[in-house]
Chains A and B, each alone.
Chain A
Amino acid sequence: MHLPLVSARGISKSFASIEVLSNVDLDLHNGEIHALLGENGAGKSTFAKILAGVHKPTQGVIKLNDSIVEISSPMIAQELGIALIHQEPISFPHLSVAENLVMGQKGNGLLTKVNWTEMVDHARQQMTMLGVEIDVTIPMQGLSIADQQMVEIARAIASDARLIIMDEPTAPLTPREVSTLFGIARRLKEEGRTIIFISHRLEEVRMICDRVTIFRDGERIATNTIDELSDEDVIRLMIGRPLGKYMRKYNADIGKIALSVNKLGLEGAFSDITFNLRKGEIVGVGGLVGAGRTDVARAIFGISPAQKGTIMINERKVNISNPADAIKLGIAYVPEDRAIAGIFSSLSVEHNLTAAIPKKIAPKNIIRRVLETSFSSESIDKLSIRLASPDQPIVELSGGNQQKAILARWLHTDPQILILDEPTRGIDIGVKAEFYDMIGTLAESGRAILLISSELPELLSLCDRILVMSEGQLTADISSHEATQEKIMKAAVPKMAISA
């Protein structure tokens, strides 16, 4: 076997005490299309980003053509011949395609002449080499996402990349665009280049890849040629996580329908979503990144309302045009991205805790300190939030405690319907169990809970019923008794996107 292009040994990475990758060894050979598979949060994307210099590993060594390399930035990765193509390519929207191809290349000083004709011809030549029809003179923002990806690939090849990493490239593409992409991938393989393909679409992986590596809980579980593994094997390997010692310790009596959603649709995000959520019931929503689960939640909560379909609260049709309406109707939404949509980072923990209940802490618009402190200390004790003082900026708390604070903020609004979007993401194991208890007791108190989660054990152990979404569609509605990780994953994986 000739020498591997890239060999990674003992790669580990942790973000502020939460280990995301532990001791991963992997060899990648020239002229190979290698798929990285795994659940959300299994670590495959972090590993790829380490190779591309976006993150630095906490431990471990990377060898390129048998010599140790230190990939400390995307620039250095580019020099080493490693290119990362994001799902939505980072480009200069106002500049022409030809310029985006060549921008920032080494070697030309600030005052060197830009030869437009040569640049444009060079770009045209690259496009035809890729077999793609793109007008290289129009600005990038004039291109479709697929075309922008093609430009990114062309740029990688132009900088003579030996290893091209594609992160979820086919998600936004039409079937025709996917087959064009695969044609190019095959040609690059014949040229001896190595391609890493991160995807959930097993059929696509099976069609294009030579070997596949499966990640689970930050560890590399298996690396086999694609033919050695059936779909079932792959799914089993992906999800063989222990169900964990957490067993449901509660059983709420399911009441009448609190929320019913009928044929909800938003162009480009999701369509034909229909489900009911009863008081005291926990309904899980599984699916992969980009399935549109967050968009459904944002539609129900009024952040980006749906264009089609109806929402009923306690059998009464309602119109939710902004979050304030939703809160009045007793809906609460714990957002997926804490830092952007959740915390007021520089404000105190107390201010964050009472952000959603203005009326309660300021009955006549004047904030009553005594009310505010009582509300905040109540949630600090109930949810045992670890902090130095209620006045310290919330940004100083750990991820888990920040999430508790956001949840506490919403519990104060005494919601009837509670939407949790990846509540336990980025939280260490210990705190997760606390969260599960909280969610359980909330259901027991008669609240209806919609739990969006990518962790299958979480869904299985907590939920009464599990919906699964894939590419904006509802693909399954399984009660918890019959549900298994395989069933969920099968429903979550997008159907065959392209013809044979």
Chain B
Amino acid sequence: MKPILKFLSGREAGIFVMIILFCTAVGIYKPHFISSNSLRIILLLVPLIMIGAMAQMLVLVARHVDLSMGSMLGFSAMVAGLMYRDMPEIWWPIGFLVAVGTGAVLGLFNGLLVTIFNLPSIIVTLGTLNLYRGLTFIISDARQINRANIPSELKAMSQTSPIFGIPWIILMSFAIALLTFYLVRYTQLGRQIYAIGSNPNAAPLRGINVTKVTLIVFIISGALSGLAGIMYASRWGFVNPSNTGMGFEFQVIAAVVIGGVSINGGVGTVLGTFLGVILLGCVAAALPLLGIPGTTQSAIYGSVILIALLIDRSVRQRATANTKRSRA
């Protein structure tokens, strides 16, 4: 059975080719870029953005945008961090539940504002981006959760690995990608998210509960931001109110837009998003090797978003051009 979204596969192949080209080019210039060790560095850059990108993809497909992911990540990580600090003897995996749960609640608040008050999601989440960051400072009394407070088993998850050298959190992020693939392809909810994004006016006519599905999308975005938060604590070993999650939403949007997810809703694949994250990981890992100062990273992200927007537009134009125009 040919893949259903065959017309889109052109885009994923394009990104895959870009990754191969980019890595070989850097590899020629700096041979040890293609070593297992630097692959490990690239993979270690990926987990958080991967989880965020999967959530943002769902939001964009439903024709919304979530700018508050960075602060949701920070707030959820802080809640888990405070739990670890104030209740050191607690069973450490509880941190996952607490972070994901906190994130889900924040996502629900976003969703309620968007659905009940019928507000544009981009402005709502611009507001909650700062509201949640402020709350992160307040609950932590502006103090950092030090490395000593983070359970070593949690920190180990980003170093030790169950199978052939890939750390737990990377496997977890791939698992989330697979889960999102399953959700998007094999559940009604997934298909209805696409339907809402593809034609918001027709969705209610076809019996889709638009409010409920939109709420779920924002809850997922919050929950996955929360998961990224606990993974932040594992990967970096601390939680800081001011820079945990700072700028996370822009990195995620860059990855998702490169991955071929359209801003106008209804178009986007898990594979494309996955490859978009990997490409960004390669770029981020290559910069220090090529001696390009980290300062250029944000300029590169910005230009990549703009280029992806133009590519997306030409893809969309070709798609709509071939439906015969009929006069009313």
Contacts and interface: CB of A to CB of B under 8 A. Distances in A.
Nearest to A109: B188
B187 interface: yes
A247 B182 CA distance: 71
A461 to B, nearest CB: 27
Given A104-B208, A116-B1, A92 B202 contact: yes
Contacts, number: 121
B84 interface: no
B256 interface: no
A interface, by DSSP: helix, strand, loop or mixed?
loop
Nearest to A155: B206
Contact of A103 (B5, B189, B191, B266): B191
Q: 3 closest Cβ contacts across the A-B interface?
A: A104-B206, A172-B326, A94-B266
A109 B6 CA distance: 27
6 contacts: A87-B326, A92-B266, A96-B5, A104-B206, A141-B322, A145-B324
B87 to A, nearest CB: 34
Interface residues of B, number: 40
A94 B198 contact: yes
B202 A290 contact: no
Interface string A106-140: 10111111101100100000000000000001110
Nearest to A113: B186
Contacts of B2: 137
Contact of A92 (B199, B319, B327): B199
B194 A94 contact: yes
Nearest to A171: B326
A93 interface: yes
Given A91-B199, A295-B327, 13 more contacts: A93-B320, A95-B191, A108-B188, A110-B213, A112-B188, A114-B188, A137-B1, A137-B4, A139-B5, A141-B320, A144-B324, A145-B326, A172-B327
Contacts of B187: 110-114
B195 A472 contact: no
A174 to B, nearest CB: 10
Contacts of B135: none
B205 interface: yes
A144 B325 CA distance: 9
A472 B191 contact: no
Given A90-B202, A91-B199, A103 B208 contact: yes
B323 A90 contact: no
A323 interface: no
A25 to B, nearest CB: 28
A142 B7 contact: yes
Most-contacted residue by chain B among A90, A95, A171 (CB, 10 A): A95
Nearest to B321: A141
Nearest to B267: A94
Contacts of B167: none
Contacts of B192: 103-104, 110
Contacts of A104: 192, 195, 203, 206-208
A116 B3 CA distance: 10
B148 interface: no
A99 B320 CA distance: 19
Interface string A72-91: 00110010000000011011
